[in-house]
A and B are shown apart, each in its own frame.
Chain A
Amino acid sequence: MGKAYINKIEVDFNDGDTILETASSVQIKIPTLCKHPDLSPTGGCGICVVKIEGTNKMLRACCTKIEDGMKIITHDPEIVEIRRTVIELILSDHPNDCLICGRNNNCELQTIVADFGIREESFEKIVKEIPQDKSTGTIKLEPSKCIKCGRCIEVCQDIQNVWALSFLERGINTRMAPAGDIQLKDSPCVRCGQCSAHCPTGAIFEHDHTREVWAELQNPDMHCIVQIAPSVRVAVGEGFGYAPGENLTNKLYAALRRLGFNTVFDTNFSADVTIMEEASEFVERFVHKKGVLPLITTCCPAWVDFMEKFHTDIIPHFSSAKSPQEIMGTLCKTYYAEKKGIDPSKIRVISIMPCTAKKYEISRSNEMFASGYQSTDFVLTTRELIRMIKQAGIDFNFIEGEEPDNLMGDYSGAGTIFGVTGGVMEAALRTAHHFITGNKLEKVEFENVRGLDGVKETSVEISGNILKIVVAHGLGNVEYVLNKVKEAKDKGKEIPYHFIEVMACSGGCIGGGGQPYGVTDEIRKARAKGLYSDDKNSEVRCSHENPFIKQLYKEFLGEPLSEKAHHLLHTKYVPRPEYKK
């Protein structure tokens, strides 16, 4: 704790606070292009410089800790002029293609240039042509637009512990690229897309599939089915001026119909199916001792990819249940096609996901073709959907809400919380409890698995059995959990967990790599709150109580883990090398 002065305003601060943080507490915004609230400062852009009264030097507000008695000036003509020069320098090394850039109107560099009223280019253009990397089909690197702020590298290395991206070369030739200057698809990249979500410009961008989807929608022979992931509903509104966390499920259904989708389903329904399978799997392993514990969740394709690259020894612990996206795709081309008498080859399944890795998941292994076809055809991120709605001239803010289509549109509260860290665990616990005890839960909330702590360890009692669980999100936090598992294994001790949930992105899917830009913990909390109230307001709170789930098993699948269920709804994992030649 201490007292300091910023622009003569007295401020209180906590030890360790930076000048930038403290300034924002007294409504002073210090501009920056490299500092992101999620990440530790790199000091890369040089725009946040401030003066300390009585010294000649300027310091970076983003990484300078405020000290007791400090007198700081954040804005004066000299500082503004220095910032302007630095911004103009950055602009001289940036292409002039704002109008056709994916970040047009949503670019941090563009905004700061506009704020500074820069009307001419004082310095010679020195932009280097560097080829794009579209190799993954999920994330596109466009290094010529990169301003070398280092956010993508920080998030890839420090937060995600993936180490795919790095700076290569030095000086004016410095560029962001996969380490080793290989193609992104051959690197350890797990396609989580956090780099694209943190990029201040258009240098890293999701691979856009909207035109392919438009083409399918235009094809009269095709029956287009859309599914929306849990976390999309509480984030999509940010593209239309809604506050983060506002639940817009019904408006989304209506907008999707207007876009031309023939059938509107909800991934929350297939999340309920995932729970039926995964909870059964857990009960098999935990109660009937068939298979190894801990069981680890596999809804997140970036996490699956990460494990297949870096932690192949834990493959036997993985739940074989497919992710909700894949279950929906498979059921659309089997169950739904059968029931409606539609030729599955004429069905197109398009999913709206908060995620770039989901674009990879749809073809990641043979099991993704279990329906006899590629079960999910295209994946659009939340950001792509926002653009499509705008292109279609749909006045999203005023559109009347609608209901989803029958059969696979209705979901339980357990399905909707899949979109937030701890949600899969909580949903599984609700159903596993029922499977083990046969009783109805009095209180369905498991609050210990909620919240933004990186690793949440807790235990739950189910009919006298202590079930030890852990929830981790942000791939960098997995290390801690897996080390504990491996340590116990190595020493022949009891593994300290029975059930592990992992989501690759901080906050879970609500903070996914395909969500609207500008995410911070504040926004994550708001989006999570949106999903938890959706759960709370649901009549049905547990997957196994969803009447349409009951109907699905009765009419089509039989029992959870039945042969048919295994064939259609489960998958396999194989080691994949971190680097490909």
Chain B
Amino acid sequence: MQNQKKIILVKDTNMDKETSSMIDKFLFGLRERGLSEDVKVIRAADLNIYNKGVVVKIWPENITYANVKKDDIDLIIHRTVENGKNIDELLVSETNKQLRIVLRNCGIIDPEKIDDYLDNEGYCALAKVLSEYSPDEVIEQMKISGLRGRGGGGFPTWMKWNFAKAQKEETKYIICNADEGDPGAYMDRSVLEGDPHSVIEGMIIAGYTVGAQKGYLYIRAEYPLAIKRITLAINQAREKGLLGDNILGTDFSFDLDVRLGAGAFVCGEETALIASIEGKRGCPSPRPPYPSVNGLWGKPTIINNVETLANIAPILHNGGDWFASIGTEKSKGTKVFALTGKVNNSSLIEVPMGTTLRDIVYNIGGGVLNNKKIKAVQTGGPSGGVIPENLLDTSIDYENLQRLGSIMGSGGMIVMDEDDCMVDIAKFYLQFCVDESCGKCAPCRIGGKQMLNILSNISEGKGDLEDISSLKRISQALQKASLCGLGQTAPNPVVSTLKHFEEEYIEHINEKICRAKKCSLLSIYEIIEEKCKRCSLCQRSCPVEAINGNREVGFTIDQEKCIKCGKCFEVCKFEAVSL
């Protein structure tokens, strides 16, 4: 399974208009020179370079050219592809600190072709495990590797496997948790869409290790492409004898099925996920018993997240030691993040554990959008927290993030600048958890709603200082007395913004101002006479007729009537409405 072929990856990093015609040109040029058989041209999903026109990557040499024009193509084929020489004018030097293990194949192979995966060392780990390793040896390698659950909890994967393996039951299950639900997160989706076989291979190895015969991929129904590709990949794997009876001629049999999630965030919690697969209402159950002892249909069940599973094959192919050499003392390997928010290069990134947040924002993310001042980075999605600017040099690992009041989570990472209001951020995430609470336990069901009401009051200028102690008190009840992780972590965005930005809350309460001008009910809209062109658009747009005046004398806003909807601010073409 050695890779003889060259691959050319093409991606228009600006608007993606040019890619197709550039690929055609490459194909034409290659055919002219009789290279069609040896060189593959692929439209890349993401090359992690932004705003640099058409980017071309040549594999396996890993040469990257940016701002490529059509006229450069013949030269690239002639000089680089045929003769192995660089074109210095086009070359970009990458200061990329990324390391791709999970995303190793994403954007590089054709995810709908199993042969592409096989060409890139696919299923080598499985072959090695089935022929050389006993289940105990697999667990030993996993233990050496130090891999921890990438779904958010960070529980050592080998331990989970070992619990399930120790159970004396005949029937066991492996579940891949692909119910990715954090707002803005698309790590799992990218892996499923870009490299479905890596997840399947991980699941088969897990099945062999714990003695399971059946696995399920629980994928949210909102990921149709992921579902299509994973289904295709399962069929391909079956055809090749990688799934089904007697895998690779051994006496190990294992098969996979897909189950769709109906869109409840709480079904990412493992006991709720199991209930959902069983056809029950998606509500969590008390743990213990843990699923590894008593899971799907009462049988021992391993539930691993997509990213965790995509790490398995590389670990077993390269050895636990190799994986353990990456990362920090307690957090090994890499972590995929969906880097978004006020950052120049919003993208999916994969970095070794231990990379600092500042490195991610400035070196990989290309700095803050519009060169504004960074305020904080939010990690961990709705269960996470904000990390203020002065702590950005913290290196990322499970323990550090937790110490700062955030969590690793599944990998959401949102950069926030001075235009972001911390009360508003807390409200946004809490609203998400309130909407997604299953309603089973009182602390989460009622506590979340009460906290949200308090935050709404604060953001509308109706808060008082006692609200802060109420928030803290309810937060504690949620953290300690909620049944599942959703409720236990739902207050985190509030707790962490209170920890690092309490003064913003106090400003909202005492001075009735929102410095980021996000809380619209706290803003005062005024018309700047000098800028006003008296077009009357604002007056006509106002839903409550709060704008007095006419085109002769000009316009003023009646603050008594104004409902602070912001409509006048939006419609004014002359920036004559101030906030």
What residues make up the interface of A, taking CB atoms closer than 8 Å to B? 41-47, 49, 57-58, 60, 63-65, 81-83, 85-86, 89-90, 92-93, 122-124, 126, 147-148, 150, 166-167, 169-174
A sample of 15 inter-chain contacts (CB < 8 A) reads: A42-B440, A43-B285, A43-B483, A46-B443, A64-B288, A86-B447, A86-B481, A89-B447, A89-B477, A167-B439, A169-B439, A171-B434, A172-B445, A174-B440, A174-B445
Contact in complex: B474, A85 (CB < 8 Å): yes
Contact in complex: B445, A171 (CB < 8 Å): yes
- Residues 471-491 of chain B, each 1 if its beta carbon lies under 8 Å from chain A, else 0: 001101100111100000000
Q: Which of B439, B473, B481 contacts A148 (CB 8 A)?
A: B439
CB of B392 within 8 Å of the partner chain: no
CB of B86 within 8 Å of the partner chain: no
Bound-state Cα–Cα, A79 to B443, Å: 14
Bound-state Cα–Cα, A224 to B341, Å: 78
Bound-state Cα–Cα, A42 to B442, Å: 12
Q: Which of A64, A65, A150 contacts B440 (CB 8 A)?
A: A150
Contact in complex: B435, A65 (CB < 8 Å): no
Contact in complex: B477, A124 (CB < 8 Å): no
Bound-state Cα–Cα, A64 to B483, Å: 12
Bound-state Cα–Cα, A150 to B284, Å: 13
Contact in complex: B481, A58 (CB < 8 Å): yes
Number of residues on chain B facing chain A (CB within 8 A): 33
Kindly list chain B residues whose C-beta atoms are within 8 Å of the C-beta of A45. 441-442
Contact in complex: A174, B481 (CB < 8 Å): no
Contact in complex: A46, B483 (CB < 8 Å): yes
In terms of DSSP, what is the predominant structure of the interface of chain A?
loop
5 closest Cβ pairs, A-B complex: A174-B439, A46-B481, A85-B477, A63-B286, A171-B437
Question: In the complex, what's the smallest C-beta–C-beta distance from A86 to chain B, in angstroms?
Answer: 5
Kindly list chain B residues whose C-beta atoms are within 8 Å of the C-beta of A174. 438-440, 445
Kindly list chain A residues whose C-beta atoms are within 8 Å of the C-beta of B288. 64-65
CB of B470 within 8 Å of the partner chain: yes
- Residues 250-281 of chain B, each 1 if its beta carbon lies under 8 Å from chain A, else 0: 00000000000000101000000000000001
Question: In the complex, what's the smallest C-beta–C-beta distance from B82 to chain A, in angstroms?
Answer: 61
Kindly list chain A residues whose C-beta atoms are within 8 Å of the C-beta of B447. 85-86, 89
Interface centre among A85, A90, A93, A167 (most CB of B within 10 A): A85
**A to B contact number (C-beta, < 8 Å):** 111
Beyond A49-B481, A58-B480, A124-B453, is A86–B442 a contact (Cβ under 8 Å)? yes
Kindly list chain B residues whose C-beta atoms are within 8 Å of the C-beta of A171. 434-439, 445, 448-449
Bound-state Cα–Cα, A49 to B482, Å: 9
Question: In the complex, what's the smallest C-beta–C-beta distance from B148 to chain A, in angstroms?
Answer: 18
CB of B446 within 8 Å of the partner chain: yes
Contact in complex: A89, B264 (CB < 8 Å): no
Kindly list chain B residues whose C-beta atoms are within 8 Å of the C-beta of A90. 442, 446
Kindly list chain B residues whose C-beta atoms are within 8 Å of the C-beta of A44. 440-442, 483
- Residues 418-449 of chain B, each 1 if its beta carbon lies under 8 Å from chain A, else 0: 00000000000000001111111111011111
Kindly list chain A residues whose C-beta atoms are within 8 Å of the C-beta of B286. 41, 43, 60, 63-64
Bound-state Cα–Cα, A543 to B455, Å: 71
Contact in complex: B437, A170 (CB < 8 Å): yes
Question: In the complex, what's the smallest C-beta–C-beta distance from A37 to chain B, in angstroms?
Answer: 17
Contact in complex: B440, A126 (CB < 8 Å): no
Q: For residues 209 through 249 of chain B, which have their beta carbon under 8 Å from a beta carbon of chain A?
A: none
Q: Which of B264, B434, B470, B483 contacts A60 (CB 8 A)?
A: B483
What residues make up the interface of B, taking CB atoms closer than 8 Å to A? 264, 266, 281, 283, 285-286, 288, 434-443, 445-450, 453, 470, 473-474, 476-477, 480-483
Kindly list chain B residues whose C-beta atoms are within 8 Å of the C-beta of A58. 480-481
Question: In the complex, what's the smallest C-beta–C-beta distance from B470 to chain A, in angstroms?
Answer: 7
Q: Which residue of A lies closest to B434 (CB)?
A: A171
Question: In the complex, what's the smallest C-beta–C-beta distance from A498 to chain B, in angstroms?
Answer: 36
Other than the given A86-B443, A170-B438, 4 more pairs (CB < 8 A) read A65-B288, A86-B477, A90-B446, A166-B281
Kindly list chain A residues whose C-beta atoms are within 8 Å of the C-beta of B440. 42-44, 148, 150, 167, 174
Contact in complex: B470, A82 (CB < 8 Å): no
Kindly list chain A residues whose C-beta atoms are within 8 Å of the C-beta of B470. 122-123
Kindly list chain B residues whose C-beta atoms are within 8 Å of the C-beta of A170. 264, 266, 436-439
Interface centre among B434, B438, B443, B480 (most CB of A within 10 A): B480
Interface centre among A43, A49, A60, A169 (most CB of B within 10 A): A43
Kindly list chain A residues whose C-beta atoms are within 8 Å of the C-beta of B283. 167
Beyond A44-B440, A60-B483, A89-B477, is A148–B445 a contact (Cβ under 8 Å)? yes
Contact in complex: B446, A92 (CB < 8 Å): yes
Bound-state Cα–Cα, A338 to B426, Å: 79
Kindly list chain B residues whose C-beta atoms are within 8 Å of the C-beta of A41. 286
Kindly list chain A residues whose C-beta atoms are within 8 Å of the C-beta of B477. 46, 82, 85-86, 89
Question: In the complex, what's the smallest C-beta–C-beta distance from A494 to chain B, in angstroms?
Answer: 34
Kindly list chain A residues whose C-beta atoms are within 8 Å of the C-beta of B436. 170-171
Beyond A147-B442, A170-B439, A172-B437, is A126–B481 a contact (Cβ under 8 Å)? no
Q: Which of A89, A150, A166 contacts B446 (CB 8 A)?
A: A89
Q: Which residue of B lies closest to A149 (CB)?
A: B442
Kindly list chain A residues whose C-beta atoms are within 8 Å of the C-beta of B443. 46, 86, 89
